């Protein structure tokens, strides 16, 4: 455990809380796009170093992740428009795949699962392609991601109580 505390002290010597929050926002934003990433690791490191930033970290991570999801949703929306313009036809791809039909049937509430690794980004992209209602979709996405971050923070708080 001594090496961990030494590493923590070294990191704190050159990186302050504000820089950590910006890093968390960037990590959460990029993780919610089609780029791979894990904002949970960054959040765990930040909360370990600065336990008093718990609620700020929650808000920053949720905001960054939600903005990244909005970008992914927009990419799905724009890609359908671009595909139809390029092909010169109305897209029938949404009617062909059974998973896409299932997402269309379930609607925006299915986007509460957008927090899942790999699958979540695809769900948000598909929702944009299907032109689901933007605000309803973002609300369900926010609910799922807020629950994920809340569970992570609760676990971290419990874990840090033992250290």
SS (H, E, C) 48-78: HHCHHHHHHHHHHHHHHHHHHHHHHHHHHHH
Local confidence band at 45 (pLDDT 50, 70, 90 cut-offs): confident
State the pLDDT at residue 138.
93
Calpha distance 7→12 (Å, rounded): 9
Cβ proximity of 64 and 24 under 8 Å: yes
Class of residue 115 by CB neighbours under 10 A (exposed 0-12, middle 13-18, buried 19+):
buried
CA nearest to 36, candidates 120, 152, 136: 120
* pLDDT tens-digit series, residues 107-119: 788 888 888 877 8
Cβ proximity of 30 and 23 under 8 Å: no
Calpha distance 14→3 (Å, rounded): 17
Tell whether the model's pLDDT for residue 13 goes beyond 90.
Answer: no
Q: Which helix (H) or strand (E) holds 128?
A: helix 119-129
Cβ proximity of 53 and 16 under 8 Å: no
Local confidence band at 56 (pLDDT 50, 70, 90 cut-offs): very high
Local confidence band at 135 (pLDDT 50, 70, 90 cut-offs): very high
């Amino acid at each position: 455990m001594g090496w961990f505390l030494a590493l923590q002290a070294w990191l704190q010597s050159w990186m302050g809380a504000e820089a950590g929050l910006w890093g968390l926002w960037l990590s959460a934003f990029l993780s919610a796009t089609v780029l791979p990433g894990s904002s949970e690791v960054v959040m765990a490191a930040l909360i370990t170093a600065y336990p008093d930033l718990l609620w700020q970290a929650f808000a920053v991570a949720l905001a960054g992740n939600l903005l990244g999801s909005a970008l992914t949703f927009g990419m799905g929306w724009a890609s359908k428009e671009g595909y139809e313009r390029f092909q010169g036809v109305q897209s029938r791809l949404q009617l062909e795949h059974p998973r896409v039909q299932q997402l269309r049937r379930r609607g925006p509430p299915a986007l509460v699962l957008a927090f899942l690794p790999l699958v979540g980004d695809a769900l948000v992209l598909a929702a944009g392609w299907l032109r689901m209602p933007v605000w309803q979709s973002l609300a369900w996405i926010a609910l799922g991601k807020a629950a994920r971050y809340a569970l992570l923070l609760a676990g971290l708080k419990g874990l840090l109580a033992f250290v």
